[in-house]
Structure 1
């Protein structure tokens, strides 16, 4: 483990930029950026376009370690390059930003009120590639659709089971059991999720730490004890479909919780903006999210 990166993730001020849209979410991300689906004919062309968008963000003079602690990358982004330099190396050596890799392969169909992760074939090989690329940690997402005790238990079991495999490779896993913000019983789901996570932390070995990426809770400071737990390196929040303004307002009510936004970060960025317009919009968004993360 890179100790300098660990120290930055543990104590640094700022937030995590989620630049990890995968096959399912990429068309929507490109459309919001102003690129219609008629602009590509193959997946390779689609991923080239989204890599250009991500590169524009990462190379912006407003995308700096002053407010950005880390960036979450899609697998193909990790294996690509920015300005001729492998992406993770560019982020850390040129920007001082910690590189993190999304490792899940999407969601299984809904059952018991949740969507667990699909199997992750060749996970060990992917983790080995992550280590060789200088990746610090990983991220994997599953979703709670409604309050179901067995389903939420299954979500957390799976997250920690795979988390242990990631820890064994010397990487820090970000566990992301997202609670759907549209669920009417979300508060009950989040309360059980909180208790399940607390119980599962006891499965960690001496010195092992995980990170948690959670929906901004209905009840302010629900995760305050997890934020203080020495077995948790950091607790970060996803925007979950909230606009940037609403996500930042809700985040600011949760002390010690920092952002890991994707859609809310790129909101307002378009392909036809001049570099000055693009950088100004990105900088404004970054400053707003960083201020909300400093509460």
Structure 2
């Protein structure tokens, strides 16, 4: 493990940029960026377009390690190059941004108010490639819709089971049991989730460090016990469909929780913008998220 990267993620001010839209969410991300589905044909062209978008973001002078701790990449992005270098290598060497990799393969059908992760049959091989590419950690997402004990326990059990395989490869897992912001039982689901997370965290051995990526809670500082847990490297927040302004406002109410935004980060960016307009918009977006992520003394 890279100790400089570990220390940066653990202790520096900043946030984690989520650039890991998968095949299912890529068309929406491209539409938001001003590229309709009529502008490309098939997955290959779609991924080419989204890599161009990500490259434009990553290479922007606004996108740097002074405000951004890490960036989460889609598998396809890890295999491609930015500025003539493999993406993960470019992020760290050129930008001092710690690279993470999305490893889940999407969500299974809903059962017991949740959607578990689909099986990840090639996980070990993917993790080995990530290590070879200089990736620091991983991210995997599940989804909670209703406050059902059985479903939420199953999600947390699955997340930690896979997290231990990731830890065994020397990588830091980001565990993401997202709660749908539109859930009619969001606050109740948060109570169950926190209980399950703390039980699993307490079962880890010293030195097994994980990260959590959580939906911004209804009650400020609700996840304080998780943030302060000795096995937690960092707790980050997803924007989950909130606008950037809404997400930043909620985030600022949760001290020591930092952003890991995707849609909220790229909101307002467009393929049609000039370089100057694009960089100015991205700079303002990054600064607002950085400010909301700052740890209060």
Give the TM-score taking structure 2 as reference length: 0.99
- Alpha-carbon distance, 1:229 to partner: 1.1
Distance 2:176 2:269 in 1: 26
Instruction: Report the equivalent of 1:239.
Output: 239
Distance 1:201 1:254 in 2: 20
Equivalent residues, number: 295
Distance 2:41 2:181 in 1: 33
Could you list the runs of 5+ residues in structure 1 that have no partner in the other structure? none
- Alpha-carbon distance, 1:202 to partner: 2.4
Instruction: Report the equivalent of 1:143.
Output: 143
Instruction: Report the equivalent of 1:107.
Output: 107
Instruction: Report the equivalent of 2:70.
Output: 70
1:131-184 deviations in whole A, cap 9, x for unaligned? 000000000000000111100000000000000000000000000000111011
1:187-208 deviations in whole A, cap 9, x for unaligned? 0100110010000012322211
Distance 2:10 2:66 in 1: 15
Instruction: Report the equivalent of 1:163.
Output: 163
Give SS of 2:24's match.
Answer: coil
Instruction: Report the equivalent of 2:189.
Output: 189
Instruction: Report the equivalent of 1:123.
Output: 123
- Alpha-carbon distance, 1:41 to partner: 1.1
- Alpha-carbon distance, 1:40 to partner: 1.2
- Calculate the aligned-residue CA RMSD, in Å: 0.6
1:191-249 deviations in whole A, cap 9, x for unaligned? 11001000001232221110000000011101111111110000000000000000000
Find out whether 1:227 has 2:197 as its counterpart: no
Could you list the runs of 5+ residues in structure 2 that have no partner in the other structure? none
Find out whether 1:29 has 2:29 as its counterpart: yes
Distance 1:288 1:188 in 2: 30
Give the TM-score taking structure 1 as reference length: 0.99
Runs of 4+ in 1 over 4 A off after TM superposition: none
Instruction: Report the equivalent of 2:174.
Output: 174
Instruction: Report the equivalent of 1:216.
Output: 216
Distance 1:183 1:216 in 2: 13
Range with greater deviation from structure 2 (224-233 or 168-177) = 224-233
